[in-house]
A = this chain, B = another copy of it.
Amino acid sequence: VTSIKEVARRAGVAPSSVTRVLNGHPYVSANMAERVFQAVNELGYRPDLVAAGLRRGTSKTVGVIISDIINPSIAQLVDVLETSLRSAGYGVLLASSHGDPKMDVESVFLLRQRRIDGLVVMCVDEGTTELHAALTLWGGPTVLVDRQIDELDDASGVLSAHRQGSLRLASHLLELGHRQIGFVDGGLLGSRYVWRERLAGLRQAYDDYDLPFGSMVIQTPRATGENGRRATAELLDSDAPPTAIVVGPNLMLSGALVELGRRQINVGSDIALACLDDVPVAQLHQPPITALRRDIGEVARTAASLLLAQMTQEATRPRTVVLPTELHIRESTTTFVRPTANDRRTRKTPSREAIAEGLTTG
């Protein structure tokens, strides 16, 4: 309500001088600075960032496109992202697509209309040409999180090494003698990149052991508890039920645990179970559940810093950073009586790091 003019009038100076004082212009007399500060305090003046942005050509606002905030991992990402960006003076404009790829596209347009300085993309489907077109049209600083768009060459990216993680987890299970691995994840509405990489790692593990691909893979549209439960039931009811199950995080894991509980199948002793994200429940569960861990906070902080670099430094080239995934082996897979002990074999290639990616690429 109080504008810069009122402050100027009260301090007996010109509006431009108020700006100079507040923005730390080098040439201001101590006398004027003091008068301005006093007026500012008396009036409780806070500059209008929208007006300033219009003039400066920068809004100090970042758009964040998310597929579905109900997913706790995404919620955490948004949380840390907001913290990092806020401390750099940026506000976060949120656009959720609720699992609808069309909203991904519309969000890009809407955020662009709001003059965002940068964009973080955690969309539903990064594979549509409409989205590629919209992002190209936008053309500003962009970071893709756990998504890959080859058609977009001037965007930064933060990826987790899902393929490597999946490979390690599957190798762990194959090493223990498992041959039938059930694989349940909510991939249809979510990142294509993550799904593709996880599956590739799984395939590679069988390949490394010179075994035929023995996984039954179920991809659910949404990562809900009911879908997790149903997919688990489907696995258990199949002709060749798995001796080990790998399941997506959060509600999917809960759903799987519920179905196993109903059938009185004990995790660890009757079946091996592992989770694709190291969520709290995995650690709390008795027995503790083997899981892949990635540092979501670091993913978010990296995304923020890549974006800030692009927004503040003109010359910054977009970069893609791949962050590591760790396998945390716990009792849910280690206490299992070896299912096919007579068929033990070792990896044909000695190094399990064969496909390890470099941690950063230009």
Residues of A in contact with B (beta carbons under 8 Å apart): 44, 46-51, 53-54, 59, 61, 68-70, 72, 75-76, 78-79, 82-83, 86, 91-96, 98, 109-115, 137, 224-226, 229, 251, 254-255, 258, 261-262, 280-281, 284-286
A229–B255 alpha-carbon span in the complex (Å): 20
Task: Give the residues in chain B near A110, CB-CB below 8 Å.
Answer: 86, 91
Task: Give the residues in chain B near A254, CB-CB below 8 Å.
Answer: 254, 280-281, 284
A197 to chain B, nearest CB (A): 26
A44–B113 alpha-carbon span in the complex (Å): 12
Q: How many copies does the complex hold?
A: 2
A261 to chain B, nearest CB (A): 5
A156–B53 alpha-carbon span in the complex (Å): 31
A319 to chain B, nearest CB (A): 25
A221 to chain B, nearest CB (A): 16
Is the beta-carbon distance between B115 and A49 smaller than 8 angstroms?
Answer: yes
A51–B113 alpha-carbon span in the complex (Å): 10
When the two chains form the complex, which single residue of B61, B92, B111, B255 contacts A284, counting CB atoms closer than 8 Å? B255
Task: Give the residues in chain B near A47, CB-CB below 8 Å.
Answer: 113
Nearest chain B residue, comparing its CB with the CB of A250: B72
Is the beta-carbon distance between A78 and B69 smaller than 8 angstroms?
Answer: yes
Task: Give the residues in chain B near A69, CB-CB below 8 Å.
Answer: 69, 75-76, 78-79, 82
Nearest chain B residue, comparing its CB with the CB of A257: B284
The dominant DSSP class at the A interface is helix
Nearest chain B residue, comparing its CB with the CB of A228: B284
A10 to chain B, nearest CB (A): 18
Task: Give the residues in chain B near A115, CB-CB below 8 Å.
Answer: 48-50
Task: Give the residues in chain B near A72, CB-CB below 8 Å.
Answer: 70, 72, 75
Task: Give the residues in chain B near A82, CB-CB below 8 Å.
Answer: 69, 94-96
Is the beta-carbon distance between A225 and B75 smaller than 8 angstroms?
Answer: no
Is the beta-carbon distance between B50 and A59 smaller than 8 angstroms?
Answer: yes
Is the beta-carbon distance between B83 and A50 smaller than 8 angstroms?
Answer: no
A137–B2 alpha-carbon span in the complex (Å): 11
Task: Give the residues in chain B near A96, CB-CB below 8 Å.
Answer: 78-79, 82-83
Task: Give the residues in chain B near A225, CB-CB below 8 Å.
Answer: 280-281, 284
Task: Give the residues in chain B near A49, CB-CB below 8 Å.
Answer: 113-115
